[in-house]
Structure 1
Amino acid sequence: MADLQRIIPINIEDEMKSAYIDYSMSVIVSRALPDVRDGLKPVHRRILYAMQDLGLYYNKSHRKSARVVGEVLGKYHPHGDSSVYEAMVRMAQDWSLRYPMVDGQGNFGHIDGDGPAAMRYTEARLARIADEMLSDIKKDTVDFELNFDDSIKEPTVLPARIPNLLVNGASGIAVGMATNMLPHNLREIIDGTIATIKDPQIDTDGLMEYIKAPDFPTGGIIYGVEGVKEAFETGRGRVVVRGKAEIIADAKGRETIIVTEIPYQVSKAGLVIKMSELRRDEKVPGISEIRDESDREGIRIVIEVKRDAMAQVVLSKLYKYSQLQTSYGVNNVALVKGRPQTLSLKSLIEEFIEFRIEVIVRRTQFELKKAEERAHIVEGLIIAVDNIDEVIKIIRGSGTVDEARNSLMDRFDLSEIQAKAILELRLQKLTGLEIEKLREEYNELMEKIKRFKEILASVEIQKDIVVEELMEIRERYGDERRTEVTFADGEISIEDMIPNEEMMVSISHLGYIKRTKSDQYKVQGRGGKGSKGSRTRDKDFVEHIFVANAHNYLLLFTEMGRCYWLRIYEIPEGSRNGSGRVMQNILQIPKEDKVKTYIVVKDLTDQEFLQNNFVMFCTKNGLIKKTTLEAYSRPRVNGINAITINEGDYLIDARLTDGNKEVILANRNGRAIRFNESKVRSMGRNAAGVKGITLDDSEDQVVGMVCVDPDDPAVTILVISEKGNGKRTDVDEYRITNRGGKGVKTMNISEKTGKLIAIKAVVDDDHIVITNRSGLMIRMALSEIRVMGRATQGVRVISLNKGDAIADITVIKPEEEEDIKDLDNTEYEEEE
């Protein structure tokens, strides 16, 4: 019965709740969350305090890490030695903490993810900046409490002179909550703190003039400031960080990506492995080799890019698929007066300011007390010195020390402390010099006491002291930002990585495509032989060549009437002499089909533009069709039907119009027809079109179509024959007729000129690039080709080798021609 009475019945549910709450609070307060005042968790605080106890200051010798860990475990932290050592190791790693608190000697791990050597091999001491965390701790600036076995006392917080929680950040998982605070630049944080002291009403925007964003020890680039601002404002947010990479090109134009900084807390070795896997799995095509060339000087990851790939696209995909770009969820949870709170940037700064004022007040009270105690003693000593003969007489006449002390107290109205100090006075203090020093010391003490009382009586003076001390810290430890800030949105945008520069795009007869910077082509005089423009395979030649900006959309139309989409930057880049890449490897084009024409569009999202502009099609047999551009604004991987092509026919041209243009079609036999665009009604994508021109016979075919503005007098019509003759003719020489007619003569075709090969609308300032079947190109100014009548043969514009012929021409509108050189002023023979 007695045994049963010792059992107390309880509800297991209540007991579990109570026990779990106790456990939760223990984890929250004593393990996982940092204190808002010094920014430290208990283990870190105990490590620093124990190292100070051991005298391991920055200017002393290192001691074995095992000695430090033993001190922490034995006196303050009754947990596992590995947890203490790991915490100390992290405080010594310059890639983990923005401002390391421990100066380690030996193997303290590596940014590759390698662990440190055992604690018996490594040595440690306090870093110099850690002195600022422990400064004035012996001046009653913070509260102390008994340790786990009540044998000694330990500080509940360190009197930190630096805003450690903001500059070094913190992370931890408690029960039901977590914290993830990012590091910042000390100089910026101090500037923001001083600004807050001077203007307590400052808002987040005002603080961001001083504190730009987090500043990581590993550098990198913060991509977008919206998440940063949200974190500063609310204590929660998302910060996107990219590694710093540079693209360099060798003399042959081959590009290489050099990564010199990686995101915070990312293992370099793990990052390189992930990149290699992306290359192996072809998730990021275009990488030929990845090497880690890092050394003691810093990080250097080399990513060699294939010749037909674009380094900026490769880099953008690495940002997307690897930890070269990483996002951090900010969660500013810290203990405020023992309770966890989520804090904004301003709240964190205000809590630190409040703490520093408290430390200064307690330090001043301590120093005031010490100064008053010393002044009290010095005052008694001065009284004794002034009455030295009588003091000596009283002491000599006393039988015991207690009698002497009491006699002095009664005679001179002294306190027991003063009387005791007089009895302990050494004879050397009775010299004239020492007596004067006592009076000087007393005066200095009275000045200090006056100053201390002024400090305690004025909050403004206390704030001035905070500012003064922060400026000293800023001067001593402040450094430049390591992490750059890119003011862009947080989305991954390939366009942001690619300059929107002018590109020359070429498409060969067999379907090879490439892009090249347009200034690689020289401008030559009319009649020149041309330069090598593209190394083509047997029986292949460049069929189309045109200029577009890197961000433009390219609508590609095939002979069979299909439409495909490409961004210009998605086209493989090649050298001027390279052949490019076969289009079937880029687009899902059937082998029996081929790209015949194209349209370059700046944007496919502007609905007003899409609905008020049209695509005008023309087929080999003279059919034409008009459809709104909006019908081709939704890209599909396998393309869409753009126009229905009849048997025996194929598409030869497509042009972008605004509904008010005039259309000119030309055939191989040298005739052209001109009619208004309004003669062709808008049709759906699947329509075949209507007749535009009547051909002479089954051997005849349309060679091209131009759409001109009838109100633009500067435009002339350029025609080129396959054997190198060409000329320009005023538009007005082509009379306007109805569509479907045979048209009028546009060039006098003969055996010497060959059949008509192309028709283009040009102005005097334009340049053209002429490509022949052997791959040679010549670039020339249109002003060198004179304007002639319709019924002439034109002049020789390019000299051809025997058996060669012109394949295509393209018109270029250069804004600047700084690179024009090697002008060939070859004389030409005019042919009427």
Structure 2
Amino acid sequence: MAVKKSTKLDKKLDSFVAEKVQTIKLEDIISERFGRYSKYIIQERALPDARDGLKPVQRRILYAMQQMGIFSNKSYKKSARIAGEVMGKYHPHGDSSIYDAMVRLSQDFKMRVPLIDMHGNNGSIDGDSAAAMRYTETRLSKEAEALLADIDKRTVNFIPNFDDEELEPTVLPAKFPNLLVNGAMGISAGYATKIPPHNLKEVVKATIALIDEPDMPFSKMARIIKGPDFPTGGIVQGKEGIQSALKTGAGKVIVRAKTMTEEMAKNQDRIVVTEIPYEVNKAELVKSIDTLRVNNSIDDILEIRDETDQEGLRIAIDLRKGANAQFIINYLLKNTDLQVSYNYNMVAIMNHRPVLVGVIPLLKTYIEHQKEVITNRSNFELEKALKRQHIVEGLIKMVSVVDEVIKIIRSSKNKADSKENLCKRFDFTELQAEAIVTLQLYRLSSTDILALEEENRKLDEKIKELNEILTNEKVLLEVIKGELMYYHDTLGTPRLSQIEEEIENIKIDETQLITDEKVVVGITKDGYVKRSSLRSYNASNLPGLKEHDAILYEEEVQTLDTLLLFTNLGNYIFLPVHKIDDQKWGDLGTYVNNIVTISKDEKIIKVYCISNFKVNLNLLLATKQGMMKQVKLEDLEISRYSKPVRVMKLSKDDEVVSVDMNQKNNIVVLSQNGYALRFKTEELPLYGLTASGVKGIALSENDSASVAFYAKDSDEFYFLTNRGHIIKDNVYELPVYSRYRKGIMILERQKTNPHLVMSASRLSKTQTKDNVAIRILSDKTGLLMPLSEVKYTPNKFGKKIIDEKGYYIEVKNSINEELEEPIIVTKKEPIVIKKQEEKAPIVEEVLVKKEKKIRLSRLDLFDDDDL
């Protein structure tokens, strides 16, 4: 195959590529370009200059208006005209960005000292946007004129604009420290700034004090500038945060609304909000408060109205009779934007770079800027005064030879010839000759000569004064102080925000928001929870249930009560009654996992309603593997309850099988294979929530604990078997052993299809007398019946109640039963029992003939009939 020869054109292309095309890594290109872009938006867009406190767009707007002559004493001009001027000459971006900046500069709820005076709709504190720029009219405010003063006297540097056809200032002269007075907010690449407004009088006084004492300690500065002064007023809390921010540039304060109460009627108040935090949207604030009322988060608010008018801001909140106004104020401060935090981040451009600084460096930068401004102005005025004095001296000299001057001018050919002849004849300078030949004849009168001499004397004084400023820094600083005091007196206004030293820690007791009333709570074995009014409960025949579900807990409770839901995985759910959704009794309810997240295999085994956690009560917990412990009720009270809380530490494959409360002098434990152990309550230690407890009952292989409960000596108890039988027994018939014994057998063991103990419940004489209800649950159904329907039978396997596999029995408490004095159990360290110390389970034994050991139990007294 023939190789194609390179042509002359190919060589030119290769030469061009080699000369013009660069091979650079993409990451280097992006890094370099982004660096340039970042530098631009940091210095030329988002962050204010420390000297005049303005961003470039703001500076360009004010300068353009000054050039157009739209001063505070002149008529307004259309905003669209100004925006067009700014965009066409200085700011080559969209007109909307320019107009938005203009609007903000005019808003008295955003700017402590508005720099633009705008006619028309310029937005509102409710978040309403301003009218289009073609409708509004604008002019400079007096404060803006103070920032622009002397700009035409070469006081600041100018640079070419974007197309090199105009000049624009790099900074404004700024006759007061605008950065601190109006604050700033902005976000750029890697930097953000958030500087709150301050009081002009305080800032000016601080600047003057710093001029007098350049090494002023911060403590003295902090006494002058008390803190931020927001245009919307409010209360600023946190002296420590303010001082940190003023010193370092970073700090946090709390800003809260100013409120008061008015009496509407006897025992009925109204809350009135007169000032709200800075940059809080009033309409959104009113809406959020009303949402709390609509959602019944706070019942004592009848109505909320926005009554703001030309006299000032006013939000009225009408309360119900007897409502605690101060509590509701605290609740609203905590849960709405009536109180917000404000984080200082005082970043500004100093020496062409962004810096996080405190107040003293900012004011020193401003003072240095003023030195430069006054020096430049003095040089400009000195040059002008010297030029004028030179002319005046020539005019005075001319007066003595006026006739000859006139003769020379008349005999000259033209203006240039006249000037040349005058310079030759009288040694006038070019400048003096120009002034003479352009002089009007009436100025030659004797009166005008006196005026020239007076002007020359004043010029001498002025030149001396300007030279003094330029050569003596002390005089220069006095000039700066004098001008600052002038603007202090003419532009300063009283402080709007109130400063409080300490941040008030608001604690809300939410129970004060809840109306204490009686309701019915239902919890099913599958974990559905509902709360219903008594009216709905009484009107419904049956509760709403899923198939094969049943009610585990059904009680009348108060809305201020708390439910403790214990689960098989050693956790409990802390559930205030008022947090449960109010539903009809016939509704299905809310699945517990939608209230508090629980594990997939976690299920509720016991529920208690607690009205007061500060009582001396213990709870008894037992696990499948025979571990037991007591815990104090008061330890179960928590403030955060978004997830289940550990109540007992479990070993592998273990689970909690029973929970009992209101201790008696005995503890009875039943195992699944029918063994019962009774020991004294004081033998079981009291532990914390994270402990695993101690061995309560000694279990043989293939046996497990089913239930444990407190009991008195005189009590009876029912226990439920897996075959749906209920068997009754007596506590006093159980011998009292030590803890961790096997106990005695109370249920005969069958070889095929044996009865297994699943659950048990104590039965007192009072419960029997009052014929309380008894609840029985199986895998598929649930029964609630009077105790009298569960007839006692002496058969050793009791009475068959349900056909399905039973697993839960509970005898309801009697309201007439007197509580005993609780058994006080001291808290002990966890006990570790060594295997060699474990004693064999004790059973009742009798020796008979032929040296055979025969085990006896109370079961021999019963018939062998199996119901």
TM-score interval, normalised by the smaller of the two chains = 0.5 to 0.7
Q: C-alpha displacement at 1:203, in angstroms?
A: 2.5
CA deviations on 1:308-327 (whole Å, 9 max, x unpaired) are: 64222222222222111111
Q: C-alpha displacement at 1:145, in angstroms?
A: 1.1
Q: C-alpha displacement at 1:279, in angstroms?
A: 3.0
CA deviations on 1:134-187 (whole Å, 9 max, x unpaired) are: 111111111111111111111111111011111101111111111111101111
Residues 237 and 331 in structure 1, CA contact (< 8 A), matched pair in contact too: yes
* Structure 1 residues 51 and 336: CA distance shift in structure 2, 3 A: same
CA deviations on 1:178-218 (whole Å, 9 max, x unpaired) are: 11111011111111111111111222221121111101111
- Structure 2 residue aligned with 1:15: 29
* 1:370 equivalenced with 2:345 (yes/no): no
* 1:94 aligns with one of 108, 111, 129: 108
- Structure 2 residue aligned with 1:382: 396
- Distance in 2 between residues matched to 1:265 and 1:203, nearest whole Å: 33
CA deviations on 1:570-606 (whole Å, 9 max, x unpaired) are: xxxxxxxxxxxxx98799xx999878x999xxxxxxx
* 2:83 aligns with one of 58, 61, 69: 69
- Structure 2 residue aligned with 1:809: none
- Structure 2 residue aligned with 1:79: 93
- Structure 1 residue aligned with 2:308: 294
Q: Which structure 2 residues correspond to residues 389-468 of structure 1 after superposition, within 5 A?
A: 389-468=403-482
- Distance in 2 between residues matched to 1:180 and 1:510, nearest whole Å: 51
Runs of 4+ in 1 over 4 A off after TM superposition: 282-285, 508-511, 583-587, 590-595, 630-641, 643-647, 683-686
Q: C-alpha displacement at 1:351, in angstroms?
A: 1.0
* Structure 1 residues 510 and 18: CA distance shift in structure 2, 3 A: closer
* 1:4 equivalenced with 2:17 (yes/no): yes
* Structure 1 residues 593 and 395: CA distance shift in structure 2, 3 A: closer
* 1:54 equivalenced with 2:68 (yes/no): yes
- Structure 2 residue aligned with 1:481: 495
Residues 293 and 301 in structure 1, CA contact (< 8 A), matched pair in contact too: yes
40-49 or 421-430: bigger deviation? 421-430
* TM-score normalised by structure 1 residue count: 0.61
Q: C-alpha displacement at 1:644, in angstroms?
A: 5.5
Structure exhibiting the larger radius of gyration computed from Cα positions: 2
- Structure 2 residue aligned with 1:542: none
User: With CA pairs under 8 Å and 6+ residues apart, which has the higher RCO, 1 or 2?
Assistant: 1
* Structure 1 residues 29 and 370: CA distance shift in structure 2, 3 A: same
- Distance in 1 between residues matched to 2:610 and 2:215, nearest whole Å: 69
* 1:259 aligns with one of 247, 251, 273: 273
The residue matched to 1:208 in structure 2 has which SS?
A: helix
60-69 or 404-413: bigger deviation? 404-413
- Structure 1 residue aligned with 2:368: 354
- Distance in 1 between residues matched to 2:159 and 2:425, nearest whole Å: 44
- Structure 1 residue aligned with 2:125: 111
- Structure 1 residue aligned with 2:328: 314
Residues 50 and 349 in structure 2, CA contact (< 8 A), matched pair in contact too: yes
* Structure 1 residues 256 and 40: CA distance shift in structure 2, 3 A: same
- Structure 1 residue aligned with 2:175: 161
Residues 631 and 685 in structure 1, CA contact (< 8 A), matched pair in contact too: no
- Structure 2 residue aligned with 1:223: 237
- Structure 1 residue aligned with 2:340: 326
* 1:204 aligns with one of 218, 224, 228: 218
- Distance in 2 between residues matched to 1:101 and 1:288, nearest whole Å: 42
The aligned length equals 556
CA deviations on 1:502-543 (whole Å, 9 max, x unpaired) are: xxxxxx9999xxxxxxxxxxxxxxxxxxxxxxxxxxxxxxxx
Q: C-alpha displacement at 1:22, in angstroms?
A: 1.0
* Structure 1 residues 494 and 445: CA distance shift in structure 2, 3 A: farther
- Distance in 1 between residues matched to 2:405 and 2:518, nearest whole Å: 119
* Unmatched tracts of structure 2, length 5 or more: 1-9, 510-515, 520-559, 563-575, 581-606, 618-631, 648-658, 666-684, 689-709, 711-867
Q: Which structure 2 residues correspond to residues 596-635 of structure 1 after superposition, within 5 A?
A: none
The residue matched to 1:90 in structure 2 has which SS?
A: helix
Q: Which structure 2 residues correspond to residues 785-824 of structure 1 after superposition, within 5 A?
A: none
- Distance in 1 between residues matched to 2:323 and 2:493, nearest whole Å: 39
Q: C-alpha displacement at 1:645, in angstroms?
A: 6.6
Residues 287 and 303 in structure 1, CA contact (< 8 A), matched pair in contact too: yes
* TM-score normalised by structure 2 residue count: 0.59
Q: C-alpha displacement at 1:285, in angstroms?
A: 5.0
- Structure 2 residue aligned with 1:715: none
Letter in 1 for 2:28: D
The residue matched to 1:209 in structure 2 has which SS?
A: helix
* Structure 1 residues 141 and 510: CA distance shift in structure 2, 3 A: closer
Q: C-alpha displacement at 1:493, in angstroms?
A: 4.6
The residue matched to 1:359 in structure 2 has which SS?
A: helix
* Structure 1 residues 141 and 298: CA distance shift in structure 2, 3 A: same
Question: In percent, how many aligned pairs have the same letter?
Answer: 44
Residues 254 and 503 in structure 2, CA contact (< 8 A), matched pair in contact too: no
Q: C-alpha displacement at 1:85, in angstroms?
A: 0.6
- Structure 1 residue aligned with 2:187: 173
* Structure 1 residues 439 and 170: CA distance shift in structure 2, 3 A: same
CA deviations on 1:112-147 (whole Å, 9 max, x unpaired) are: 101111111111111122110111111111111111
The residue matched to 2:206 in structure 1 has which SS?
A: helix
* Structure 1 residues 229 and 283: CA distance shift in structure 2, 3 A: farther
Q: C-alpha displacement at 1:417, in angstroms?
A: 0.8
Letter in 2 for 1:288: L
- Distance in 1 between residues matched to 2:407 and 2:518, nearest whole Å: 124
* Structure 1 residues 59 and 400: CA distance shift in structure 2, 3 A: closer
Letter in 2 for 1:87: A
Q: C-alpha displacement at 1:425, in angstroms?
A: 2.1
- Distance in 2 between residues matched to 1:188 and 1:72, nearest whole Å: 33
CA deviations on 1:775-801 (whole Å, 9 max, x unpaired) are: xxxxxxxxxxxxxxxxxxxxxxxxxxx
